Amino acid sequence: MTSNQLPALDTLYPIKPEQIHSYQENGHILLREVASAEEVAAFRPVISGAAMAFNTEKRALADRSTYGKAFLQITNLWARDEAVKRFTLARRFAQIAADLMGVEGVRIYHDQALYKEAGGGFTPWHQDQHYWPLDTNNTVTMWMPLVDLQADMGIMQFASGSHKIGYLGDLPISDESETKISQYVQENGYSMTQATAMKAGDATFHSGWTLHSAPGNKSDTMREVMTVIYFADGVKVAAADNPNREQDLAHWLPGCQPGDEAASELNPLVYKRS
C-alpha cells in the first residue's frame, strides 16, 4: 500500500476541558479510539515492516542489558519511510498534544517504535525528558499500541502528579533509575495508574517529566507500540548538560545550539491552531 492510499488521520479528536485538566494535574491521560480499528489495521503492517527492516538488535534477550531487554527501539521511522511519515505527522495526534498542553502549535521531536518481545523484560522507572535538551515543560509523548494489549503484555504505569517535580537528575533508563525512582515514588506516596487493557488505537499521552515504567511482557505475543514525541512550537534548545542530551542534540536537533529555536529539519511543525 502506498502512502497516499493510507488513511489521512487529519480529522480532529475532540478533547473535553475535564480531560485537559486531568492531564495537567496527573501528567498523563488514557484516550480511547484515538485511531479507529480500520486505521490501525492499515498502518500496522507499514509500521511493523519498517520497524523490523531498520531494527539492528540481533542479540538474544539473555545477552542484553536491562535496557536492551525492555524493548526493541527503532527511532525516526518517519524520516526513513514515506508511509510511516503519514502516521507520525498526523494532524489528529498533534492536535491532541497541543490541546492537552494548552499551546498553539507543536513540533515533532522524534518517533519511536517500542516493541516489547514475548518474554521481554521490564522497562525501568525513568523520565523521558532526561534525554531531551528542550527548555520547556511543554513536552508530551503519545504511546499507541498497534495490537490489543492485556495486563500481562507490559502496559505502562504512571506516578500521577510526578511531572510537577521537574528534573530528578542524571538517571537514564537503567537498573539505577529503577532502584532510585521506585524508592522515590514509594517514599512520596504517589498514586499509581495503569490501564488493565488497551485496544489497538487507544493511546496514552504523558508529560516528559512524568515518572513511568512498564512491567515485562509475560505473554507469547509481541507488544507492538508506536510513539510520537511532541513539544510546543517556539521552544528554545536547552544546555546539553548530560551525555544523553548531548547525543540527542546531535541526533534530533541537527544544526541547533543551546539558545536557538528548536526547529531543525527533523522537527517539522505538525499542528498550528490558527
Could you please report the per-residue DSSP string of 151-186? Answer: GGG---EEETTGGGG----S--SSHHHHHHHHHHHH
**Crossing angle for the helix pair 91-101 and 17-26, nearest 10 degrees?**
70
Closest alpha carbon to 253 in 135, 134, 77? 134
Element (H, E) at 115: strand 105-116
- Domain spanning 3-252, CATH class: mainly beta
pLDDT in tens, the chain (274 residues): 677 899 999 999 999 999 999 999 999 999 999 999 999 999 999 999 999 999 999 999 999 999 898 889 999 999 999 999 999 999 999 999 999 999 999 999 999 999 999 999 999 999 999 999 999 999 999 999 999 999 999 999 999 999 999 999 999 999 999 999 999 999 999 999 999 999 999 999 999 999 999 999 999 999 999 999 999 999 999 999 999 999 999 999 999 999 999 999 999 999 999 7
Rounded CA separation 163/211 (Å): 7
> Could you tell me where the DSSP H helices lie in the chain?
17-26, 37-54, 66-70, 82-88, 91-101, 175-187, 243-252
Give pLDDT tens digits for 108-132: 999 999 999 999 999 999 999 999 9
Per-residue model confidence (pLDDT) at position 1: 62
Closest alpha carbon to 115 in 87, 156, 149, 73? 73
Per-residue model confidence (pLDDT) at position 67: 87
Which three three-digit cell numbers place residue 270?
505538525
Per-residue model confidence (pLDDT) at position 274: 78
Q: Which residues contact 175 (CB under 8 A, 6 or more apart)?
A: 66, 124
Span between the terminal Cα atoms of the chain, in Å: 33
